[in-house]
Amino acid sequence: MAHHSTMATIPGDVDADRGPPLSIPLRHFVAALGFLLAGSALGVADAFGVAPGFARLAHLHLLLVGFVCLTIAGAMTQFVPVWSGTALYSRRLARAQLWLIAGGVVAFVAALLTTRLAVLPVGGSLMLAGFWTLAYNVGRTLATARPLDVTERHFAIALAFVVALTVLGVAVAVGFVTPVFGAAVARPAVVAAHATLAVFGAVLTTVFGALYQLVPMFGQTGLDALDRRLQRVETVAYPAGVVVLVTGRLLRSAAVARLGALLLLAGVLAFAVVLFRRLRDARAERTPMLVRYAILAPTLLCWALVTLPAWLRAPLAPAARFGAPGTGHLLAFVLVLVLVGTLYHVVPFLVWLHRYADRLGVEAVPMIDDLYDGRLATVDLALVAGGGTLLVAGEWTGRGTVALVGGGSLAVGLIVFAANLSLVVWRHAPDALRRESTPTAGTD
């Protein structure tokens, strides 16, 4: 098991007491892990042809909304006050957003799997209410932190994308039940815009903003002059590219979508270079977080370079919605690496603060990286990285068996990961999901 100094894993300028009670982000993360396991199981069932209803759409929403977005919601709620040096606007809203989003996902997925499509708008509306609650709560928190730094600006933009994509999502859900689309706005165009806003607008904008903070912080390195120039390129080109690409897809204009694709990919490539250079210069010891980020950098670069010619050719093609045809799982692999790597630090970090921080210097306490099982972390890395590679390779080459083996390996790896983090909570802070008594400034 890894042994690192406590100071190496808790930067001195982070005031963790400004965050909400541990139970709030931790409940988000535990619910997200549950959706991750359900989504992985459904994906395997769908691959074997035994999943009911609209299984592929259910699988996508379980992973993208249930796992990815709920993790982001918990992380934003926890770390925006910490990073911004301000109090969370409302704990009540932070608790409410979890129930609304999680309840919405459950209702939406149940409707898809049972083909009771009349329930879809109910699930969609609950998710919209949850995400708008998140946007309002974190937005009000950010409003007290001006001037905004690069991470905070990314989060603010991502929240604006969240508001827009949920409106389109509810429109699509209602469209399953009653006609809402006509000749002027076609249903496939709204679906494409919704999906583009979700993955590239809400999720990747948040990921880029967070990594600008996390990689230098935990790699013990800093951005140089070239990094800052590239960061300025990404900060302008990427969000503008998302808006223009979404507009092009909504209006079914290939020329507009092509311009958006170029701007978006320019931003991705600029960010990938910054990420690669910061990881190359990292002085910290290897942790599951940094190892997964190190795999992420070339994966993101590969996705962008393969996607560039495909989007220039046909940016409106349904098969090219998430990049070049056959690269959907490559992009999903990027998100898995980010979230798994980040959660490997965030969950033990929060549990350590909850359980051991006030004992430091009084008695012997474990280090943060001692809370999880290093052997399980190695096993899940091998399964997730190997499985993800096989899944992408099988998808690219059209070899279904290879993709099936890769998907199965990836699912098992994610189960091991979820078990490892669950054990951290179970062993070191079993009361953390219930307790609200963390010293913090925040309104009730």
Q: What is the pLDDT of residue 199?
A: 98
Q: CA-CA distance, 441 to 89, in Å (whole number)?
A: 9
CB-count exposure of residue 14 (10 Å: 0-12, 13-18, 19+): middle
Last residue of a domain, one of 326, 354, 369: 326
Domain boundary among 171, 195, 230: 171
Provide the whole-model pTM: 0.92
How much is the pLDDT for 7? 36
| Same-domain check for residues 312 and 346 | no
pLDDT at residue 50, as a whole number: 95
Question: What is the pLDDT at residue 15?
Answer: 56
The verdict on 322 and 369 lying in the same domain is: no
Same-domain status, 19 and 153: yes
Rounded-to-integer distance, Cα 149 and Cα 93, Å: 24
Residue 309 CA neighbour count, 13 Å, CB half:
3
Report helix, strand or coil for 221. coil
Please tell me whether residues 268 and 345 are part of one structural domain: no
Separation of alpha carbons 108 and 190, rounded Å: 18
Where is the domain boundary, 153, 171, 189? Answer: 171
**Are residues 236 and 248 both part of a single domain?**
yes
What is the model's pLDDT at position 18?
67
Query: Assign residue 437 a region: left if phi > 0, alpha if psi is -120 to 50, beta otherwise?
Result: beta
Domain that holds residue 68: 15-171
One-letter amino acid identity for 313? R
Euclidean distance between the first and the last CA atom of the chain, given in angstroms as a whole number: 40
Give the pair of three-digit tokens for residue 294. 């190190």
- The alpha-carbon radius of gyration of the chain (Å, integer) is 21
Question: With a cut of 70, which residues of the chain have pLDDT below it?
Answer: 1-18, 183-184, 435-444
Q: Which amino acid is at 109?
A: V
- Please tell me whether residues 319 and 185 are part of one structural domain: yes
Name the token pair of 335.
């998100």
pLDDT of amino acid 183 = 66
